[in-house]
Amino acid sequence: ADVDTIAILTPEQGSDYGWNQQGVDAAKAAAEATGVEIIVAEGLGYGDVRAPMREIAADGADLMIAHASGYNTAGPEIAEETGVAVAIVDSPDALVPGKVADYTLSGHEGAYLAGRLAAKMTTTGTVGIVVSGEPPSWNSQSAGFAEGVKAENPDVKILYSVIGPAAYSDAAGGNRVTTSVIAAGADIIFGQGNGSSFGMIQAVESNKATDGSDVLFIDVIGDKSELDKGHLLTSVLWDMTPVYTAMIEDLKADKFGTHGYSISLADDSVKLVKTPQVDEKAWEEVMALREQIIAGDIKVEPKFEAEDVRALVTVAE
Amino acid sequence: MGGLLTEAFLSSLFTGAIVAAIPMLLAGLGEQMSEKAGVLNIGIEGMMLMGAYMGFLVAFKTESLWLGFLGGILGGVLVAIVMAVLCVRLGLNQIVIGIGLTLGVEGLTALLHHFQFSRTYPRLPAPERLNIPGLTDLPVIGPSLFGRHLIVYLALIAVAVLAYLYRRTNLGMTLRAAGERPAALDVAGGNVLGIRVFATLFTGGMAGLGGAYLANIGAGLFIPFMTGGAGFIGIVLAMLARGRPLWVLIGSLIFGAALSMTTALQVAGSNIPTDVIQMLPFAAVMLVLVLFGRRAKLPSALGAAYERGAR
Amino acid sequence: MTKRFPGVVAVDNVSLKFHPGEVHVLLGENGAGKSTLVGILSGLQEPDEGYLSLNGEKARLASPSASLDAGISTVFQHSMLVPTLTVLENLTLGAPWYQRPPRAQIAARMDELKREFALSLPLDAITGELSLGQQQQIEIARALLRDSKVLILDEATSMLTPQGAQELGERMQQLVKSGLAVIFITHKLAEAYRYGNRISVLKQGALAGEMGPEELKGMTEDEAVDEIVRLMFGREAGQTSTDHRASTARDQIALKVENLSTQGDADVMGLHDISLSLRAGEIVGIAGIDGNGQKQLAEAMAGQRALTSGRVELHGEDITGASVAQRRRKGLRYLTDDRLSEGSVGAFPISENTVLKDIGQPPFWVNGIERPNRIAEHARELIRTFSVRTPGEQTPIGRLSGGNIQKVLLGRELSGDARVVVFNKPTYGLDLQNIDASRQRIAEIAGRGLGVVLISTDLDELMALSDRIAVMEGGRIRGVVENDGTGEALRLRIGRMMAGEEEHKQATA
Amino acid sequence: MQQDTNPSSVDTEAAASGAASATATERSAFQRFLTVTVGPIVAAFLLSAIILMLVGVNPLTYYGYILDRSLFSSLGLEQTATRMAPLLFLVASLIIAFRAGIWNLGTDGQFLLGAVIAAATAPLLVGVLPGWAVLLVGFLLAALVGAIWSIIPALLKAYQGVNEIITTLMMSFLGVLLASTLVKLAFRDPTTTVPQTRTLPVADRLPRLFETSISSGLVWGLIAVILVHLMMTRTSFGLRLRMVGANPAAATHAGLSVPLLTMATFGLSAGFAGLAGASEILGVAGNVRANWNPAYGLMVIPLVFLARFHGVGAIVLVFFYSALMIGSESAARRLGVPQNFTLVLVASLLICLGLGEYIDQHKRKKER
Ligand SMILES: Nc1ncnc2c1ncn2[C@@H]1O[C@H](COP(=O)(O)OP(=O)(O)OP(=O)(O)O)[C@@H](O)[C@H]1O
Ligand SMILES: Nc1ncnc2c1ncn2[C@@H]1O[C@H](COP(=O)(O)OP(=O)(O)OP(=O)(O)O)[C@@H](O)[C@H]1O
Ligand SMILES: [Mg+2]
Ligand SMILES: [Mg+2]
């Protein structure tokens, strides 16, 4: 089929150094690589996305990337209604040839590596996971991180906390919870959140670990190193460009909707960011582990449930 | 839970409770004055958010937290001026305007944030803490109670000052008269609109300060929608406190402690689902309401505009 | 001075002079413009035309505080105190917020007032917990504390007992002797003569006449009252409404109350073992000092207040368990004394107010659907029958003057098949003409064979209308006397019982 | 002294009766329309235009898109109409509450719990019951659950006199969290990774109108508002509720049971809020996701006030509001302005409409 225009729809502005920005940037890069036009619809919120989708379909988009798990009911319905191909997330079973394809994104392998790295580098023997909510992709990364930590050193304690009701933009809550987790002994924080993650970073920057050392932060999805003040350890970086490019190519080749897409360590669509804070030796060991995962010697299964995460973290006696 | 109940952790929970409580305390104290005077200030959420934005902007540009707090107060007062003109002077409906102002400030600050900060996400340095030798070194409560930024103590002093003013000067009775029977205050030569305007602006200032605290001390940066309902909690605290500043303090500390407890339970690895844990603070308030709600007597003229000579 | 309101000229080109050393009485029927004039003098309203001069200089009183600054203090027709504040706070209300209440100073001044005017108040009591009379003393004290030059009292005596009114009168005389000007508004003509040095009469906003000190001195009370009535109503006096009405009682028992008791609490007096019976066509008066359980008795009869024991029978039928609405349908009616906050819904039009007690009943509602035309028609009929002064039936009832609201409520209670009517202070706050009309109406309905319970604090009224008078004190009936119209002796007996002196003598019959 | 704490006395004129407003005949209806609607709308758009220009966007282009995309294109109009449905049920909910003197500020919680129960049950009933019965059960359960969520505030208000502003607000916060918890723990679709309820297939949702994408929820919403309006203004039950709202003492005096009627008000109002949730789920969304909260309730409150609790007026305002939401989603995207600007526009509209109302009242006062 002819593909001349694609569209990406995101719930928030594409300037969050995270999920939305990575999506928008990748869609732009994929469009450029494949020579198609792109419509960017940012900040559509988590409510009913049918209205903008219908309109974008009417505007001539050939593929709509509905880049939020909240859009995965509306997406297929609109594809059915308008006949325009739609890509959705977090719905591995939702495939309709020519119309609906899923790209379930999970950086659990990357998070696993981050966990290994964290366990190597912690000096207090405790690491923390702070999240602003419990969507599946975050659960799978939290679980991956926890598994990595345990695999590296079963004695390292893992603390887990979800911020609170106003979480996504609750920067103050992010700061407060992270401060508590640091006070409980963590010196490396694996943080996932939108606006609230900046509160976590602020807490990491302004608190010392219980042993007096600096606290380090592990971010996800985006790359915040240009904002870093020396506390960013790494980031589990996602790059959706290969995914989106493949979608466009598939659509052109009439193969869209026959299979799902995902990101992986193998093609660097999931990778760890190296910062000056990373210990060289630890990094080399982690990179070796990466090869093992790619080779299939280490298996990391995604776990999407919040209970799975809680089962992995340390329960105080 | 022995392993986790370290001194540092307990201390951070106390700290967390106080950090979470201060913005609600400031907002609650402000709202309390409006409510006494008969103005139901639903716009407080917007005033707080504007305070957070302005507070952060000024602190960031001037690199002075204190100027930032002033900026926050100014931001809150600016929104309150609109409210005072429209609702107190012109007598427009307080609910409509309050909601309108909150929505407008949410949109405006998000817009400004988008154009100013969304590519850089500037953050403030960690706030200075007041170090009182001896006290700050006390175990557990030392750092949480005594190692805070000076503004925390000012907020506590505000509780005492307001309690004093309400009790010992004519301020308390003037406010109550304006909220209870504005016509009586008017014919006694008092200035109903004046005191209501003052109370509204005071609310704006306190809410703005609370917002600035949230941004500058609580988070260290500004994020759109970051107040997330703290202003509404302030309204509830003010209504429950029956006109007493001390009760606003107690209420905000309990609420802050409940929020902090949700972290504690999770960090301790509790098996209760997170969503259930997070209902606790609100469930606690509901429980208080069920048990003691009937005593939360509100001023008779709350929410009603005053117009001289109208019947 | 002229003041117009939409559709009404409330004050019509009135010129008046108020002199120091004089009690200047303003008289006029309901809605004559007295309160409007007070409103202008106290800075609540600005005149449309005309001007005001103080000590010969033109002045503009744009606000109550301007008026207070000019030395004019006002005690309004309706209480202007904050019930939740203490007496001291109400006395200092209006002072700058940053000051501390000058307690010692006020206490000292109150001591003086106590000596000079016998005003004595508990400074730390919560105002709302005091009696209405005491509350009024607060307002008067507040005016005196301000060292005013002009003191305005709008219907200040309507809440007071005869003794209280007497004291107030004496106080006013003392005040004018100390050089004040007092403006005194009342509906009681005798008071006007006794306490006033000068009388001005307003009629439909205009000045109908004025009687100066010399003129007044030269008249007896009767002559003066005759003259005032002529000025106010344009008719001769003569209907001395204190004439005793001839009994129309029949044998049949209309309403019987047996051993009725209710729960009391801190605010409300409980009733103890009340028994009373009322025959058709009879008027039984309930006398007593305000707050001795009269209202509770009325409410218990109407079904509005729960009983702890006792029973109520209407024409032989036990209605103890019946609801307010059921009792009303059976013909038991209750006219409340609280016409604004209980009797009517101020924001609703008159038409809806006329049927508030018949919601859902035909012909105004059919199958739950409102018939606005039927209701409007009914309301117009009522407005005509009871001469309610209003622009129309769609006017919100809250805009009417108190007297006219009262007429609407009276009409509401008498419509349909009324058999027994409980009146609670039916003529309170009405002008003479309306009082007369109301009393005639009460006499007339008794004449038609309805049973009437007449609760009043006005002994004259009770003695003019009742067949028998029950006296309440402390939630009990202290005694029931036949009203033989014997004047002073009877009055004295009732007065003793009201004070709780005479021993329990239960109702018979 | 009349207590002014309740909403119905905030505007006595409105509470009085729609019929009484026929008095102001002096100025033409057209002039009133100008002051009350057109003027404020123009002013609000001017105010927002200034902000647009400050951030470097041509306001004319922006507004052009709004009109074009919400009203002047059939697709836009359909979207606008569809967006109206849940808002209309909320309008019905609030008209009952406000006319009866109750501040129900908890509609968001009632809405969401209604939505959750509808989403939890309807998909399971497909095939078990006929299509219309599935929807009916969904709506009824939503109304019931919404009403249940108001019981605590209702009891506290009716029998303890606890101010309902605090209690409904708190129950709303709780309800929003509970809805999310229920989705995750109780009603979760086991076949998805994302925590959400089972999905009601498009074919089993409320039928669409004719050949358009408009959900017939719109029709039911309109019917709900009109019925509620008539109930409150034309029936004995409505008058009883209004009387309790305007003057509880008078209601007691007239033999009404104030506590029972207060409970009824809460139940009905919250029930309609529950219906609003069901209409969004059974008409449009098909399922509820964890943490979903469109927060329509807060937005509808000012609309109902500006319409002076009048059903038809509220319908018109809801239409304008929906058009604005739909149109500015589109305009924002095309011009690179964050969506949040819509909030600024809505806020200026509320404030200007409020001011228009004020000016109108003053003019009418002068004329009388
Ligand atoms: N605010 C108002 N709006 C419209 N009309 C008014 C207003 N105030 C007073 N009036 C009109 O002015 C007239 C005079 O009212 P006013 O209150 O002065 O009477 P009054 O002499 O005090 O009567 P009363 O003896 O009952 O106290 C009334 O007939 C009324 O119609
Ligand atoms: N806000 C108002 N709007 C319209 N009319 C009013 C208003 N206030 C007062 N009035 C008019 O003022 C007149 C007198 O009002 P007011 O309450 O002073 O009467 P009043 O003197 O107390 O009467 P009464 O002696 O019968 O109690 C009424 O007839 C009423 O129509
Ligand atoms: Mg008067
Ligand atoms: Mg009067």
C238 assigned to some structural domain: no
In the predicted structure, residue A306 carries a pLDDT above the cut 60: yes
Question: Lowest-confidence range among B80-84, B146-150, D64-68, D198-202?
Answer: B146-150
For residue B82, is pLDDT > 90?
yes
pLDDT at residue C266, rounded to an integer:
61
Q: Per-residue pLDDT tens for B254-273?
A: 888 888 888 888 887 777 77
pLDDT band, residue C506 (cuts 50/70/90): very low
Subunits adjacent to chain C (3 or more Cβ pairs under 8 Å): B, D
Whole-model pTM: value is 0.86
Contact: D235, C365; criterion CB under 8 Å:
yes
Crossing angle (nearest 10°) for helices D164-185 and D107-125:
30
Is residue B217 included in any domain, yes or no? Answer: yes
Across B156-163, average pLDDT: 94
Size of interface A-B (CB pairs under 8 A): 162
Quick check: D229 contacting C, CB < 8 Å?
no
Whichever domain contains B217, its CATH number is: 1.10.3470
C374, part of any domain: yes
Q: Which of C381, C416, C451 is the last residue of a domain?
A: C416
Average pLDDT over every residue of B181-201:
92
**pLDDT given for residue C507 in this prediction:** 41
Q: Determine the atom of ligand 2 nearest the C-alpha atom of C34.
A: 21
Q: Closest-CA residue in chain B for D184?
A: B275
Q: Secondary structure of D267-327 in the HEC alphabet?
A: HHHHHHHHHHHHHHHHHHHCCCECCCCCCHHHHHHHHHHHCCCCHHHHHHHHHHHHHHHHH
Whether C405 and C423 map to the same domain: the answer is no
Position C507 in a domain: no
Which pLDDT band, with edges at 50, 70 and 90, does C54 fall under? confident
Run of H or E including A6: strand A5-9
Q: Which of B276, B52, D290, B181 is nearest to A72 (CA)?
A: D290
User: Are both C47 and C113 inside the same structural domain?
Assistant: yes
Task: Indicate if the alpha-carbon torsion angle D217, D218, D219, D223 is positive or negative.
Answer: positive
Please check whether residue C241 lies inside any domain of the structure. no
Which site among A28, A38, A48, A170 would you substitute to test the D interface, given the most D Cβ atoms closer than 10 Å to its Cβ?
Answer: A48
Instruction: Give the pLDDT confidence score for residue D10 in this predicted structure.
Output: 41
Residues C401 and C315 in one domain: no
Residues C421 and C395 in one domain: no
Instruction: Determine the structural domain holding residue B47 and report its residue range.
Output: 21-295
Same domain assignment for residues C10 and C115: yes
pLDDT band (50, 70, 90) for residue D278: very high
The more confidently predicted of residues C385 and A317 is C385
| Cβ neighbours of residue A58 closer than 8 Å, sequence gap 6 or more | A82, D75
Same domain, C354 and C269: no
Does residue A39 have a pLDDT over 60?
yes
Asked if the structure places residue C339 within a domain, the reply is no
Q: Which residues surround ligand 3, an ion (CB under 5 A)?
A: C 35, 77
Please tell me the predicted confidence (pLDDT) of residue B115: 86
Confidence bin at C509 (pLDDT 50/70/90):
very low
Same domain, residue pair C309 and C184: no
pLDDT, one tens digit per residue, over A137-179 is 888 999 999 999 999 999 999 999 888 765 567 888 888 899 8
Tens-digit pLDDT profile for residues D212-247: 778 888 999 999 999 999 999 999 999 999 999 999
Least confident of B75-79, B81-85, C492-496, D76-80: C492-496
Residue bearing the bigger pLDDT, A104 or C308 = C308
Same domain, C394 and C435: no
Quick one: pLDDT at residue C159?
61
What confidence category does residue C499 fall into, taking pLDDT thresholds of 50, 70 and 90? Answer: low
Section C173-196 average pLDDT: 85
DSSP string over D140-200: HHHHHHHHHTTHHHHHHHHHH---HHHHHHHHHHHHHHHHHHHHHHTSB-TT-SS-BBPPP
Q: How far apart are CA C136 and CA C156, in angstroms?
A: 8
Tokens of D294: 């469109």
Pocket of ligand 2 (CB under 6 A): B 310-311; C 5, 30-31, 35, 77, 399-403, 429
Q: Evaluate whether residue B302 is within a structural domain.
A: no
Kindly state whether residues C367 and C295 are assigned to the same domain.
no
Mean pLDDT in residue range A45-71: 89
Mean pLDDT score across all residues of chain D = 85
Q: Which of residues 177-236 of C touch D (CB under 8 A)?
A: none
For chain C, give the percent of residues with pLDDT over 70.
Answer: 91
Show the domain range for C321: 248-331+417-501
Q: Which of C36, C77, C78, C152 best tests ligand 1's pocket when mutated (most atoms within 8 Å of CB)?
A: C36
Contact C324 D20 (CB under 8 A): no
From C10's Cα to the closest Cα of chain B, the distance in A is 14
User: Which chain C residue lies closest to D17 (C-alpha atoms)?
Assistant: C348
Query: What was the pLDDT predicted at A28?
Result: 95
- For ligand 1, say whether the CB of C401 is within 6 Å of any of its atoms: yes
* More confident call, D302 vs C242: D302
The overall average pLDDT reported for chain C is 84
Q: Which two tokens stand for residue C310?
A: 């006792």
How far C55 CA sits from the closest chain B CA (Å)?
Answer: 21
Which tens digits make up the pLDDT trace of C196-237? 889 998 887 888 888 888 888 888 888 887 788 777 765 544
**Residue to substitute from C356, C364, C367, interface D, most D β-carbons within 10 A:** C356
Same domain membership, residue C349 and residue C272:
no
Looking at C366, C397, C416, the residue that finishes a domain is C416
pLDDT tens digits, residue range A215-267? 999 999 888 888 888 899 999 999 999 999 999 999 999 999 899 898 889 88
- Does ipTM top 0.85? no
Residues contacting residue B1 through CB under 8 Å, at least 6 positions apart: A316, A317, B268
More confident residue, B108 or C147: B108
Interface residues of chain A, partner chain D, Cβ below 8 Å: 13, 39-48, 50-52, 54-55, 58, 69-70, 72-74, 77, 80-81, 90-93, 104, 133-136, 165, 304, 306
* Among B279-283, C260-264, C373-377, the range of highest mean pLDDT: C373-377
Q: What is the pLDDT of residue B310?
A: 66
Q: What is the pLDDT of residue B135?
A: 61
- Compare all CA atoms of chain D with the CA of C371 and give the residue at the minimum distance: D234
Query: A65-90: per-residue pLDDT in tens?
Result: 999 888 988 999 999 989 999 999 88
> pLDDT at position D13, please?
40
Evaluate if residue A31 carries a pLDDT over 90: yes
Question: Which of C1, C5, C48, C406 for a ligand 1 pocket mutation test, highest count of atoms within 8 Å of Cβ?
Answer: C5
SS3 percent helix, strand, coil of chain A, rounded to 5, is 40, 20, 40
B192: its two tokens = 């109903």
Ligand 2 atom nearest C30 alpha carbon: 25
Please compute the mean of the pLDDT values over residues D274-282 and round it to a whole number: 95
C9 touches chain D (CB under 8 A): no
B272 or C177: which leads in pLDDT: C177
At residue A36, does pLDDT exceed 90? yes
Tell me the pLDDT of chain A averaged across its residues.
89
Question: Mean pLDDT for chain B?
Answer: 86
Summarised one tens digit per residue, pLDDT across range A204-217 is: 988 888 888 999 99
Helices (H) and strands (E) in chain A, counts: 10, 12
Please indicate whether residue C30, judged by its CB atom, sits closer than 6 Å to ligand 1. Answer: yes
Mean pLDDT of C484-503: 71
Q: Are residue C121 and residue C202 in the same domain, yes or no?
A: yes
pLDDT tens digit string along D141-191?
A: 999 999 999 999 999 999 988 888 888 988 998 999 999 999 988 898 888
Position A6 confidence tier, pLDDT thresholds 50, 70, 90:
very high
Nearest ligand to the CA atom of C39:
1
Chains in contact with D via at least 3 Cβ–Cβ pairs below 8 Å: A, B, C
Residue D318 has pLDDT above 90, yes or no: yes
pLDDT at residue B129 in the model = 66
pLDDT at C341: 80
When pLDDT is cut at 50, 70 and 90, the band that residue B156 belongs to is very high
Residue of B nearest to C86 (CA): B173
Confidence of residue D1 (pLDDT cuts 50, 70, 90): very low
Per-position DSSP letters for chain B, written without gaps between them: -TTT--HHHHHHHHHHHHHHHHHHHHHHHHHHHHHHTT---TTHHHHHHHHHHHHHHHHHHH--HHHHHHHHHHHHHHHHHHHIIIIIIS---HHHHHHHHHHHHHHHHHHHHHHHTTTT---PPPPP----TTTTTSSTHIIIIISS-HHHHHHHHHHHHHHHHHHHSHHHHHHHHHHH-HHHHHHTT--HHHHHHHHHHHHHHHHHHHHHHIIIIIISS--TTTTTTHHHHHHHHHHHTTT-HHHHHHHHHHHHHHHHHHHHHHHTT--S-HHHHHHHHHHHHHHHHHHHGGG-PPPTTTT----TT--
Q: What is the mean pLDDT of residues A33-51?
A: 88
The yes-or-no verdict on residue C335 having pLDDT over 90 is yes
Domain-located, residue B9: no
Instruction: Return the residue whose CA atom lies nearest to atom 26 of ligand 1.
Output: C30
pLDDT at position A284 is 93
Tally of domains within chain B:
1
Buried b (16+ CB within 10 A) or exposed e, C224-246: bbbbbbebbbeeebeeeeeeebe
Residues C427 and C378 in one domain: no
Q: Flag if B304 and D350 touch (Cβ within 8 Å).
A: no
Which pLDDT band, with edges at 50, 70 and 90, does D28 fall under?
A: low
Residue C333 bridge partners (DSSP): C421
In a domain, C474, yes or no: yes
pLDDT of residue D14: 39
| Confidence at residue C400, expressed as pLDDT on a 0 to 100 scale | 83
Q: Is the CB of C28 under 6 A from ligand 1?
A: yes
Q: Is C10 near ligand 1, meaning CB less than 6 Å away?
A: yes
% of chain D beyond a pLDDT of 90 = 41
Structure tokens at A311: 């089962």
Higher pLDDT: C232 or B93? It is B93
Q: Please give the tally of structural domains in chain C.
A: 3
Please state whether at least 3 CB pairs lie below 8 Å between chains C and D.
yes
Q: Is C505 helix (H, G, I), strand (E, B) or coil?
A: strand
Q: What pLDDT shows up at residue D100?
A: 95
pLDDT > 50? residue A57: yes
| Min Cα–Cα distance to chain D from C444, Å | 25
Is residue B198 assigned to a domain? yes
pLDDT of amino acid C489: 76
Domain ranges of chain D: 86-322
